Every structure is written in structure tokens, then in C-alpha cells.
């Protein structure tokens, strides 16, 4: 059977089954668009101009008639006066504070600042479309900076398949943000967001989001890409190279004789199935390392970096770490479905793409973070503009778990000095893994700054870059760690795996994730989404009063913050015995399972979210109690920990 037809039949069958399933829950049938790109592009490394054409097969799986389509033209952002330029310079007018060295802290992205405004004509980026045709018929279009709007001469009907042909001419800009040429590390070309890319159309309609500097959203599909450029350049890219024996440069199988075509250029042919973007980079001095991961699929891990003796060992260590951690990642977050992954030096820090990342240097933390984006965005393809915390926050949290595993599991081979190893692991072995502790600090810093905004804010529409960063990365990571506090870590981890299997290669929303968590935990969690995601309300619980009452102890807890939570209270007696008092939240309509069987747990009636205080009596004499602690695990994001503990020694002081 024709593969394309097989996919089409499968998609219809899948959608029909979803409709049947969701009908029982009075939900709308899930659907998503599908695309197939065939791209031919030629890069002149002397003029930094790239010309190309793309043939696009577009499947309208929606129930809607489409009378226009939109494309992203990202590189038009790198011109003086662009929205990205103005937005960055305006952000630079916001003063966040002064550093210890006396330097003014401005709110702009330090990588962009006012650099775009100073670009010369041969340094700017542009993406100029010269022709758009649908089913062979030329279409009228308008370029509105980073968005191409095409008014169709014939509408695309529901469940109809059409083809587009697009001719484009671009200039590769000096590296500013993510893509460009000649970055700070000397990488010649970082080719991300380089082609006219169809905007996504989903249940909310079109998403022609201008490129101001934030996140991305793309249509799931297949890519077949031919790249022609100077034969001395090594190319690293999304997808699988189809002509390795004509290319060489470490792609060929060991022992194979490379037979390159005559001429000064090479054409690289890549295929990437079931992805929503395609990135590549090129440099004449790339070193190419490759190894096989220690997972069941024996995934090939590639590393490309500039020749530099100072970082050579670090890049080799990155490759070694990558092959070691993939089994852990798959066990906790779901199988990695592709046969290869590439760490490519380039870009301006770390930026994720399907099957690859552009990474500034061989930092393991950055490498783990970018690789985890293969799950939270490259498989679970949320609209990053609307839900950046589901992308960056989940990835930040996962990065902490991966790093913690790696440094503990392989400490003996990482650290040559025993004292260094001991000190490093002691820093990790706090009440929270290092990554999560950092996220909590970032969230509290945001609250205290007075700049907090709801996490439902569009990524480009935050009043400050600072608030966006702390919400997307820190508060997003806290969301997952705190979810473990609410439903139990084991059910949180099970939720993540269920989320993976139910929503991979789709476009989940926050509602979808909460639904999976509710189905997994059998607890109501809509309140958590309402308070943590949709508001800026904070958590602050206190031990308000502890006093003796005969042979018992009376304890009163107070809810000072506006966000309600279930409460764990650890009682430690002077003889060393402990017990955990668990107070569910009434909005949960249930209890989390016992997390630590070694500490007896006593469950009290649920705390009504409307009540400012909660009183209970402990059948333990007052003078036998050593301490009382709210949330001993420190997973609840209480903004004031000073009122969370009672002890006799504190009373004496």
C-alpha cells in the first residue's frame, strides 16, 4: 500500500475513534493538520545568500474551510526597526535593579539588546518569497514582516489535500538570536527558522505569531531536504542523511570508500519523518563524533563542534554522558522514537529542534536540558507561545532529574578526586535536587519582585522578560515538583508516562495534561490549574498556635496566602518517634497515597478552602514534642518558610 495513503487512512481511523471516545465525555473530536515538505536549497558561502524552493503537501484534517493560509518568515526579524528590534530596545528601558558591581540590570535579552538596530545591509537577515502556487495556480500574497499571508483563489475544503509550491530567497544574518552566521564561537552557519514554514491551524484557528523573540509552534509532518553548498563544509541536521557514501565526514560506515561527485559543491539529502521543524548547521572545521547510546534501540548520538583543543575533552565527555543517560530518560519520560540525535555547536546558547539541538558549548546541564526538549515540545508539541511553561518548565524539571541521576550513578568515573566527589554530591543531596531547588528560588524571587503575571500570558506579551523567564522555567518546573507533593511523586511520575503515551506527536494543552493527571491520580486537580497557572496567588501556611491541653497538644494552622493546598505536618517527638499528619484539601475529593511507609501517617478531615484556620488535637503531651514542621519535603512553594516550624528550642530563644 502507498505509504501516504496508509497514513491518510490511519489518520481518519484514528480521528473517528477519538470522536467516539470523546463523545462520551461531551468533548470535541481532536484533529491536527499534516504536512509534507520537499525542500531544495542552495547556499552561497561567499555571499551568504540562500535560494530555495519547497513543494508542500498540506492535509486539512479540520472540519473547517480554509480561505487563507499563513507562513512564518522568521529571518525578516533581523532588520533594523523590526518588531524584534523594537521590542528588545523597549525592554532595555526597564530597569530591574543594580548588580553588586554597580551595573544597571536592564530587562532586555542580553543576546539581542540593540544589536539589530546597528546591522548593515550585508549583515541583516531577510526571507523574500517570490512565488506561491496552490495546485499549480499562482496565489496572491502579502508579506507582513515575519508573516506571509496568502489569500487563496480557491478554498481548502475540510479533509482536502492540496499542494503548495513556494520559491524563496534569503540572506543569512549575522548571528543575533538562535539563527545566523559567524556566532561568538566562530560557527559559520546556524540555520534555524530558515525556510518559509506553514503556520499551525488548530482548534483555535490560525496561529500567525510574529517573530518577536519567543517560542514556536509547527505542523506535524515529514521533511525531505536537499542542501547544496561548498564541499568543504560539514553539515549537521535534523533527520537521516540519505547519501552518506557520497558525503563522508564521518557519516559513512567504517571501512566504506567515500565517492564524492565532481565539482566544488556537495548536495546533502536528509529525510526526517514525523517532526514539526528542520534545523541544520554548517562549518568547514566541524569535528564529528558519533557513538551508540546504551538503550534498547541503540540510538546513534552525534556531536559536532569547532576544533578547539581547550574544549575537546569536554565535548567527548558530553558524548559519553549522552550515551549513558538515555536509558534513564526513556524509563521516566517515554521511549525516544528516532534513530539518532545530534548535539551541534552553534546558535547563541541552547535551542531545541527535532532530533538535534544547537548548543553554544559542551555544558552537560544545557545538553540535558535541550535533549529533554525532544520530549517536551518535539514529541509533546504544545503551542509554546501559549504554554511556554509546559515546554520550558517541564524540561527544566526533567533536566534536574537527569543531572541528579547522572552525577550519582557515574560519580566514580566523573570525579578523580574523592574529596571533590564528596563535596559535589553533598550539594546535590539536599531536600530537593539542585535543579528543583533553583526553580523554587527563581519563583520566590519573581513573587518578591512584584512583577509576577499569570502563566496564561502569551509568551510575547509579558510586560518583562524577567517575568516570562521565571514563569516559563522556574514556576513551570515547580508546577511538576509541587504536583508530586499534591498527588504523590509516584503518581506524578506515572502521570508523565501516561501523558507521553496519550499525547505524543500531538498538540496537548494545559487542560489535557490536567485531565491525564486526574485520570491517573483519581483526584480533582482543576483548582491547581486555576490557582497556579491562571492566577498569581501565592501559598503561605503557618503554625499559628501550639499549646498544651491536658495530656494532649492543641495545634492551629493558618492559611495566610490566597492559594489553598493539602498540608503535610511532620510531628517529631523528643524520643525520636515521628508521625505525619495529612490534611487533604476539600477541592481534591480524595487523598494522595502514603509516600513514606516508614513514618506513620494519620489522615484528618479535609480542610475547606474557605476556612482561614484549621485546628486539631494531637494525643501527645506538649512537653514531649521536639518539633512540628509544615511540609517537611519542601515541595510546597510556600513563600514564607519562617512560619512553617515550631520547636521548643525556638520558643526558648
Q: By mean pLDDT, which of 31-40, 194-203, 413-422, 584-593 is the weakest?
A: 413-422
With 0-12 CB in 10 A as exposed, 13-18 as middle and 19+ as buried, what is 329?
buried
**Per-residue pLDDT reduced to its tens digit, 544-563:** 999 999 999 999 999 999 99
Asked if 350 and 491 sit in the same domain, the reply is: no
How high is the pLDDT of residue 652? Answer: 52
How high is the pLDDT of residue 436? Answer: 74
Q: What is the mean pLDDT of residues 307-316?
A: 90
Which single residue is written with the C-alpha cell 559559520?
188
Inter-residue contact 283 to 236 (CB < 8 Å): no
Q: By mean pLDDT, which of 292-301, 414-423, 601-610 is the weakest?
A: 414-423
Asked if 465 and 523 sit in the same domain, the reply is: yes
Q: Note whether residue 391 is domain-resident.
A: no
Closest CA to 289 of 327, 246, 243, 340: 340
How high is the pLDDT of residue 420? Answer: 75
Asked if 196 and 83 sit in the same domain, the reply is: yes
Where is the domain boundary, 533, 563, 591? 533
Range of the domain at 15: 1-30
pLDDT at 98 over 90: no
How high is the pLDDT of residue 651? Answer: 55
Comparison of pLDDT for 219 and 110, the residue scoring more: 219
To which H or E segment does residue 369 belong? helix 364-372
Q: At what angle do helices 418-428 and 394-409 cross, to 10 degrees?
A: 150
Q: What is the mean pLDDT of residues 273-287?
A: 98
Asked if 526 and 627 sit in the same domain, the reply is: no
Where residue 218 sits, what CATH number does that domain have? 2.60.40.1730
Q: Note whether residue 433 is domain-resident.
A: yes
Helix (DSSP H) and strand (DSSP E) numbers for the chain:
16, 33
Comparison of pLDDT for 25 and 301, the residue scoring more: 301
Closest CA to 37 of 251, 273, 235, 343: 273
Asked if 69 and 143 sit in the same domain, the reply is: yes
Where is the domain boundary, 533, 565, 582? 533
Q: Note whether residue 392 is domain-resident.
A: no
Q: Note whether residue 529 is domain-resident.
A: yes
- How far are the Cα atoms of 15, 52, 543, 593, 634 from residue 485, in angstroms, in the given order? 36, 52, 19, 11, 9
**Per-residue pLDDT reduced to its tens digit, 146-172:** 999 999 999 999 999 999 999 999 999
pLDDT at 102 over 60: yes
Inter-residue contact 508 to 382 (CB < 8 Å): yes
- What is the chain's mean pLDDT, rounded? 93
pLDDT at 76 over 70: yes
Inter-residue contact 196 to 72 (CB < 8 Å): yes
- How far are the Cα atoms of 325, 583, 592, 596, 636 from residue 567, in angstroms, in the given order? 35, 5, 11, 15, 9
Asked if 352 and 431 sit in the same domain, the reply is: no
Which single residue is written with the C-alpha cell 493538520?
33
Q: Note whether residue 384 is domain-resident.
A: no
Number of domains the chain contains: 4
Q: By mean pLDDT, which of 14-18, 66-70, 477-481, 580-584 is the weakest?
A: 14-18
| Beta-bridge mates of residue 222 | 36
Q: Note whether residue 486 is domain-resident.
A: yes
Where residue 625 sits, what CATH number does that domain have? 2.60.40
Query: pLDDT tier at 434 (50, 70, 90 boundaries)?
Result: low
pLDDT at 212 over 60: yes
pLDDT at 47 over 90: yes
* Beta strand extents in 326-380 (DSSP E only): 340-345, 350-353, 356-359
**Per-residue pLDDT reduced to its tens digit, 320-364:** 999 999 999 999 999 999 999 999 999 999 999 999 999 999 999
**Per-residue pLDDT reduced to its tens digit, 621-649:** 999 999 999 999 999 999 999 999 999 76
pLDDT at 526 over 80: yes
Q: What is the mean pLDDT of residues 423-443?
A: 73
How high is the pLDDT of residue 521? Answer: 98
Cα Rg of the chain (Å, integer)? 27
Closest CA to 212 of 364, 72, 421, 367: 72
- How far are the Cα atoms of 51, 70, 78, 204, 475 from residue 196, in angstroms, in the given order? 12, 10, 15, 22, 33
Asked if 61 and 175 sit in the same domain, the reply is: yes
Which single residue is written with the C-alpha cell 502521570?
495
Asked if 214 and 294 sit in the same domain, the reply is: yes
Where is the domain boundary, 482, 506, 533? 533
Q: At what angle do helices 394-409 and 476-487 cross, to 10 degrees?
A: 70
- In 265-359, which ranges are continuous DSSP H helix? 312-333
Phi-psi region of 371 (alpha: psi -120 to 50; beta: other; left: phi over 0): alpha
Inter-residue contact 128 to 169 (CB < 8 Å): yes
Query: pLDDT tier at 310 (50, 70, 90 boundaries)?
Result: confident
Pairing of strands 49-59, 567-573: unpaired
Inter-residue contact 588 to 611 (CB < 8 Å): no
Q: Note whether residue 396 is domain-resident.
A: no
Inter-residue contact 116 to 176 (CB < 8 Å): yes
Asked if 552 and 619 sit in the same domain, the reply is: yes
Pairing of strands 552-559, 356-359: unpaired
Q: Note whether residue 389 is domain-resident.
A: no
Q: What are phi and psi of 364, to 5 degrees?
A: -70, -35
Predicted model pTM: 0.93
- For 9-12, the CB contacts below 8 A with 24+ separation are 11/59, 11/61, 12/159
How high is the pLDDT of residue 583? Answer: 98
Inter-residue contact 288 to 304 (CB < 8 Å): yes
Inter-residue contact 325 to 405 (CB < 8 Å): yes
Asked if 21 and 68 sit in the same domain, the reply is: no
**Per-residue pLDDT reduced to its tens digit, 372-394:** 999 999 999 999 999 999 999 99
How high is the pLDDT of residue 12? Answer: 36
Query: pLDDT tier at 15 (50, 70, 90 boundaries)?
Result: very low
Distance CA 606, CA 513 (A): 25
End-to-end, the C-alpha distance of the chain in Å comes to: 80
pLDDT at 138 over 80: yes
Asked if 563 and 525 sit in the same domain, the reply is: no
Asked if 116 and 13 sit in the same domain, the reply is: no
Amino acid at each position: 500500500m502507498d505509504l501516504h495513503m496508509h497514513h491518510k487512512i490511519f489518520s481518519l481511523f484514528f480521528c473517528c475513534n477519538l470522536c467516539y471516545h470523546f463523545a462520551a465525555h461531551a468533548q470535541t473530536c481532536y484533529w491536527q493538520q499534516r504536512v509534507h515538505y520537499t525542500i531544495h536549497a542552495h547556499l552561497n558561502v561567499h555571499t551568504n545568500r540562500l535560494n530555495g524552493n519547497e513543494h508542500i503537501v498540506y492535509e486539512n484534517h479540520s472540519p473547517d474551510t480554509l480561505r487563507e493560509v499563513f507562513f512564518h518568515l522568521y529571518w525578516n526579524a533581523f532588520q533594523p526597526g523590526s518588531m524584534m528590534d523594537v521590542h528588545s530596545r523597549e525592554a532595555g528601558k526597564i530597569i530591574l535593579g543594580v548588580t553588586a558591581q554597580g551595573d544597571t540590570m536592564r530587562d532586555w535579552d542580553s543576546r539581542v539588546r540593540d544589536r539589530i538596530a546597528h546591522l548593515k545591509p550585508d549583515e541583516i537577515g531577510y526571507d523574500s518569497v517570490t512565488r506561491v502556487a496552490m495546485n499549480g495556480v499562482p496565489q496572491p500574497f502579502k508579506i507582513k514582516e515575519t508573516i506571509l499571508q496568502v489569500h487563496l483563489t480557491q478554498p481548502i475544503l475540510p479533509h482536502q489535500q492540496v499542494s503548495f509550491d513556494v520559491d524563496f530567497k534569503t540572506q543569512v544574518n549575522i548571528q543575533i538570536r538562535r539563527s545566523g552566521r559567524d556566532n561568538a564561537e566562530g560557527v559559520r552557519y546556524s540555520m534555524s527558522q530558515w525556510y518559509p514554514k506553514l503556520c499551525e491551524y488548530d482548534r483555535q484557528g490560525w496561529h500567525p505569531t510574529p517573530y518577536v523573540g519567543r517560542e514556536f509552534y509547527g505542523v506535524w509532518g515529514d521533511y525531505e531536504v536537499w542542501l547544496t553548498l561548498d564541499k568543504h563544509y560539514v553539515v549537521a541536521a535534523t533527520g537521516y542523511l540519505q547519501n552518506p557514501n557520497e558525503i563522508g565526514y564521518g557519516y559513512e560506515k567504517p571501512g566504506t570508500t567515500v565517492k564524492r561527485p565532481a565539482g566544488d559543491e556537495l548536495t546533502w539529502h536528509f529525510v526526517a519523518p514525523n517532526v514539526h521543524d528542520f534545523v541544520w548547521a554548517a562549518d568547514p572545521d566541524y569535528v564529528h563524533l558519533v557513538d551508540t547510546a546504551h538503550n534498547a534501540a541503540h540510538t546513534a548520538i552525534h556531536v559536532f563542534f569547532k576544533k578547539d583543543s581547550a574544549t575537546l575533552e569536554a565535548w567527548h565527555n558530553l558524548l559519553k554522558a549522552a550515551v549513558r543517560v538515555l536509558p534513564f530518560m526513556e524509563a521516566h519520560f517515554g521511549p525516544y522514537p528516532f534513530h539518532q540525535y545530534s548535539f551541534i555547536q552553534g546558535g547563541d546558547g541552547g535551542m531545541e529542534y527535532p532530533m538535534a539541538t544547537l548548543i553554544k558549548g559542551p555544558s552537560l546541564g544545557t545538553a540535558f536540558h535541550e535533549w529533554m526538549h525532544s520530549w517536551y515540545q518535539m514529541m509533546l508539541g504544545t503551542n509554546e507561545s501559549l504554554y511556554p511553561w509546559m515546554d520550558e518548565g517541564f524540561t527544566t524539571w526533567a533536566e534536574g532529574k537527569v543531572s541528579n541521576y547522572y552525577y550519582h550513578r557515574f560519580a566514580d568515573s566523573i570525579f578523580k578526586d574523592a574529596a571533590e566527589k564528596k563535596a559535589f554530591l553533598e550539594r546535590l543531596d539536599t531536600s530537593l535536587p539542585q535543579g528543583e531547588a533553583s526553580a523554587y528560588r527563581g519563583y520566590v524571587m519573581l513573587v518578591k519582585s512584584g512583577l509576577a503575571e499569570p502563566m496564561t500570558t502569551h509568551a510575547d506579551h509579558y510586560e518583562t522578560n524577567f517575568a516570562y523567564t521565571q514563569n516559563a522555567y522556574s514556576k513551570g518546573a515547580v508546577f511538576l515538583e509541587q504536583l508530586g507533593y499534591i498527588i504523590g511523586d509516584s503518581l506524578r511520575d506515572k502521570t508523565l508516562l501516561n501523558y507521553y503515551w496519550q499525547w505524543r506527536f500531538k498538540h496537548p494543552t494545559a487542560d489535557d495534561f490536567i485531565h491525564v493527571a486526574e485520570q491517573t491520580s483519581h483526584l480533582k486537580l482543576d483548582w491547581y490549574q486555576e490557582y497556579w497557572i491562571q492566577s498569581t496567588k501565592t501559598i503561605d501556611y503557618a503554625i499559628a498556635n501550639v499549646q498544651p491541653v491536658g495530656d494532649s497538644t492543641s495545634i492551629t494552622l493558618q492559611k495566610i496566602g490566597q492559594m489553598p493546598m493539602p498540608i503535610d505536618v511532620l510531628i517529631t517527638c523528643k524520643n525520636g518517634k515521628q508521625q505525619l499528619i495529612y490534611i487533604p484539601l476539600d477541592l481534591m475529593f480524595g487523598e494522595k497515597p502514603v509516600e513514606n511507609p516508614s513514618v506513620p501517617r494519620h489522615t484528618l478531615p479535609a480542610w475547606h478552602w474557605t476556612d482561614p484556620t484549621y485546628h486539631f488535637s494531637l494525643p501527645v503531651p506538649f512537653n514531649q514534642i521536639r518539633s512540628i514542621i509544615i511540609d517537611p519535603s519542601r515541595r510546597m512553594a510556600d513563600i514564607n518558610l519562617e512560619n512553617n516550624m515550631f520547636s521548643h528550642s525556638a520558643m526558648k530563644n
